[in-house]
Copies of this chain bind each other. A is one copy, B any other.
Amino acid sequence: MSIENQIIEALEWRYAVKKFDPTKKIKQEHWKILEESLLLSPSSYGLQPWKFLVVQNVALRKQLTPASWNQTQVEDCSHYVVLATLKTITEDYIGSFIQSTAETRHMDVASLMGYQKMIIGDLVQGPRSKVIEHWAQKQSYIAMGNIMHSAALLKIDSCPMEGIDPKAYDKILGLENTPYASAAAVALGYRSSEDKYQLAKKVRFPKDQIIKVLM
């Protein structure tokens, strides 16, 4: 099948799985691709203000369930990924990113000073600093889109999980007293044949209400 058709087929095939088949696990070869989809996600300035916690511990998943509106996906999916994002962006963090850039690209840190100042001016001193937690969370939603798209292409099901209690998650996952906080999660695995939602038609507003071309 052409890549064009594969993309359309994957996007139409995907839906937010309500009931996963707990016996089906993502194979290692595919999980590696999903990990790369997170790691290679775009983010503003390339700052990657995130950590991805893959909760495979059964006891931890059980604890997360009541903090997730008791949704069964948490325990039944193959891989449960919690997106945690920075609560604040510090000059130190930006410095470590600039350092990483210089090392990766064999550049002198001094040559990146202007860029570093610009990022600090925007995120530490500028108006965005007032909503920086939201800014960081937004970046993680790009990664969310990325991993679910890759998953669908691999015929791996997913469910984005926003109905979570971030504070309870932080406690259970040991994020309290760290610079990171839980933002959202993505459950990945395989749909149960009993999940009736796989048969439901996708609900979308008409295209002419959503996309407007300004010619």
Contacts and interface: CB of A to CB of B under 8 A. Distances in A.
B38 A210 contact: yes
Interface string A110-125: 0000000000001000
Contacts of A38: 210-211
- Size range of the interface on A? 35 or more
The 4 closest A-B pairs by CB, nearest first: A145-B145, A141-B141, A142-B145, A134-B134
Interface stretch (A6-14, A70-78, A187-195): A6-14
A74 to B, nearest CB: 13
A30 B44 contact: no
A191 to B, nearest CB: 15
A104 interface: yes
A101 B205 CA distance: 9
A210 B51 contact: yes
The secondary-structure label for the interface of chain A is helix
A52 B212 contact: yes
Contacts of A20: none
Contact of A36 (B11, B36, B203): B11
Interface string A89-124: 000000001001100110000000000000000100
A39 B95 CA distance: 38
Contacts of A48: 204-205, 210
Contact of A137 (B14, B138, B215): B138
Contact of A214 (B55, B134, B141): B55
Contacts of A202: 40, 104
Contacts of A46: 16, 203
B16 A4 contact: no
Interface string A12-51: 1010100000000000011001011111111010101011
A80 B178 CA distance: 38
